[in-house]
């Protein structure tokens, strides 16, 4: 009986013992160059009283590095009373303005200029401006991110031929991506229509904590078709959604040319003590009708998710899934198969329909990692099914992207190869941050 009593007393004491050992965040202090210490600590995800452990502390450091406005950034901890840990941040922050321009020949004669800036107002903010165009249209955008809020405005005007082929294919289009495929697929061409599209969108995003964000996106959209029988007119709509993210994939660093944002370079070149994972999930609903000034009714639900595994050697495996259902949508607001793919592949045609789903897998293997840059090879496979004309139609592709990213240049440069597994077509294109 005494042994049983002693065992019960011991078990009852375990939660008390464990609770007493839980560390919490104490004081958070900072020393800075331009921004105030209070501004810096507001950008740091941890707060006094939060639970403290090595993993959370490491992620909080990564979040601060991703502001990309520091030349030096270091963290130190010291124990304090009552199981608290004080954190001190030593930062050398600066500001940058980075202009960039591109020009390409060929049939599109594309050109554009952009301007990125960071920490000009000593708030850790970032902003951008872009304007560009081609023979198919014109595009402009501007935006800013400050603390937990971001706001951007986008404008585009398109003037292109929309072509329809057998087996439910149609050409892809965009200011820089409308394809000239009429000769390659001439035998399968069923018809075409000259199309004009003008759109203005405003996107506001609010971050509630380090993983949860909400966004709203009102849009003005106008279509004009060169033939009757299409849904020309206003397609104004509003989209709202939620995004959960603990993404560990590297992003762009627009301050790199000025020497900012490289504070985690040494850490990024080191192997991890063990593999780690991240994720992203998003759900969005779009609606339109007379109440938005639209000539057509729209009701569309979209969802996507990604799971990322980073190995000890920093290679990445990314698994993605997307789904969309246009419950009420006219021709111009239907879903495209390329919207359900990962974006790793490049295609000159896609399939449109009322609903669909897709999935993709990408393996990002770093051939070279050194103090100059990163050379990676990323093979991928992706597939989507779109419901049209009473059945689900597949669109799948496989290929690889070879890119090199200099630490002192913000965007990766490389080449992409994509093989369309449905029609057998092959696409080879240059990659500079995005696609050209």
Task: Enumerate residue ranges in the chain where pLDDT < 70.
Answer: 1-20, 105-108, 177-178, 180-182, 433-436
Q: Which residues are CB-neighbours of 406 under 8 A, at least 6 positions away? A: 256, 372, 373
- Going 308 to 314 to 317 to 322, the CA torsion angle's sign is positive
pTM of the model: 0.89
- The verdict on residue 291 lying in a domain is yes
Q: What is the CATH number of the domain that holds 60?
A: 3.10.20.310
One domain, residues 102 and 79 = no
* 268, two tokens: 């990024």
Rounded CA separation 244/192 (Å): 41
pLDDT of residue 368: 96
- The verdict on residue 208 lying in a domain is yes
pLDDT of residue 131: 96
Q: How far is CA 173 from CA 154, 160, 194, in A?
A: 17, 8, 12
Q: Collapse the DSSP code of 68 into the 3-class scheme (helix H, G, I; strand E, B; otherwise coil) and give the result.
A: coil
The residue from 360, 380, 395 where one domain ends is: 395
pLDDT of residue 105: 58
pLDDT of residue 411: 84
pLDDT of residue 22: 85
Q: Scan for tokens 């042994």, then name that residue.
A: 3
How many domains are there within the chain?
Answer: 2
Residue (of 182, 168, 179) closest to 422 by Cα position: 168
- The verdict on residue 334 lying in a domain is yes
One domain, residues 87 and 100 = no
* 272, two tokens: 């991890």
Reported as half-sphere exposure (CB side, CA atoms, 13 A), residue 349 has a value of 25
- The verdict on residue 425 lying in a domain is no
- The verdict on residue 205 lying in a domain is yes
Q: What is the mean pLDDT of the chain?
A: 90
Cβ of 360: how many Cβ atoms within 10 Å?
24
One domain, residues 299 and 333 = yes
pLDDT of residue 170: 93
One domain, residues 228 and 101 = yes
Q: Which residues are CB-neighbours of 103 under 8 A, at least 6 positions away? A: 110, 111
pLDDT of residue 1: 41
One domain, residues 37 and 171 = no
Structural domain harbouring 313: 96-245+273-395
- The verdict on residue 128 lying in a domain is yes
pLDDT, tens digit, for every residue of 132-170?
998 889 999 999 999 899 999 999 999 989 999 999 999
pLDDT of residue 178: 67
- Going 377 to 361 to 217 to 206, the CA torsion angle's sign is negative
């Amino acid at each position: 009986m005494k042994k049983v009593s002693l065992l019960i007393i011991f078990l009852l004491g375990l939660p008390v013992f464990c609770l007493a050992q839980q560390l919490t965040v104490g004081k958070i202090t900072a020393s800075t160059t331009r921004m105030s210490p209070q501004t810096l600590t507001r950008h740091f995800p941890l707060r006094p009283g939060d639970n403290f452990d090595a993993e959370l502390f490491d992620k909080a450091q990564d979040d601060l590095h991703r502001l990309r406005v520091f030349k030096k950034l270091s963290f130190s901890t010291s124990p304090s009373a009552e199981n608290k840990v004080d954190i001190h941040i030593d930062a050398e922050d600066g500001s940058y303005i980075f202009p960039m321009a591109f020009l390409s020949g060929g049939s599109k004669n594309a050109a554009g200029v952009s301007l990125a800036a960071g920490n000009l107002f000593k708030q850790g903010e970032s902003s951008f401006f872009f304007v560009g165009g081609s023979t198919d249209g014109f595009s402009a955008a501007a935006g800013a991110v400050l603390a937990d809020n971001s706001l951007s405005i986008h404008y585009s005007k398109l003037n292109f031929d929309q072509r329809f082929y057998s087996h439910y294919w149609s050409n892809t289009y965009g200011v820089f991506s409308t394809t000239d495929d009429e000769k390659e697929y001439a035998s399968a061409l069923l018809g075409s229509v000259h199309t004009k599209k003008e759109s203005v969108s405003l996107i506001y995003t609010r971050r509630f904590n380090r993983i949860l964000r909400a966004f709203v996106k009102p849009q003005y959209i106008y279509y004009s078709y060169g033939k009757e029988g299409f849904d020309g007119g206003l397609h104004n709509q509003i989209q709202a959604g939620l995004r959960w993210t603990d993404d560990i994939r590297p992003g762009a660093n627009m301050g790199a040319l000025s020497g900012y944002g490289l504070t985690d370079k040494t850490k990024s070149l080191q192997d991890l003590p063990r593999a780690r994972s991240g994720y992203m999930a998003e759900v969005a609903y779009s609606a339109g009708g007379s109440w938005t000034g639209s000539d057509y009714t729209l009701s569309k639900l979209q969802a996507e998710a990604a799971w990322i595994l980073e190995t000890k050697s920093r290679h990445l495996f990314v698994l993605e899934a997307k789904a969309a259902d246009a419950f009420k949508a006219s021709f111009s607001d239907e879903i495209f198969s390329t919207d359900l793919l990962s974006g790793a592949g490049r295609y000159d045609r896609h399939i449109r329909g009322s609903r669909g789903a897709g999935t993709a897998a990408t393996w990002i293997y770093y051939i070279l990692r050194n103090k100059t840059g990163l050379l990676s090879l990323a093979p991928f496979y992706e597939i989507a099914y779109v419901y049209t004309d009473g059945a689900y139609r597949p669109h799948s592709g496989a290929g690889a992207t070879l890119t090199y990213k200099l630490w002192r240049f913000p965007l990766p440069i490389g080449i992409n190869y994509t093989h369309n597994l449905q029609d057998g077509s092959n696409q080879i294109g240059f990659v500079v941050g995005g696609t050209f």
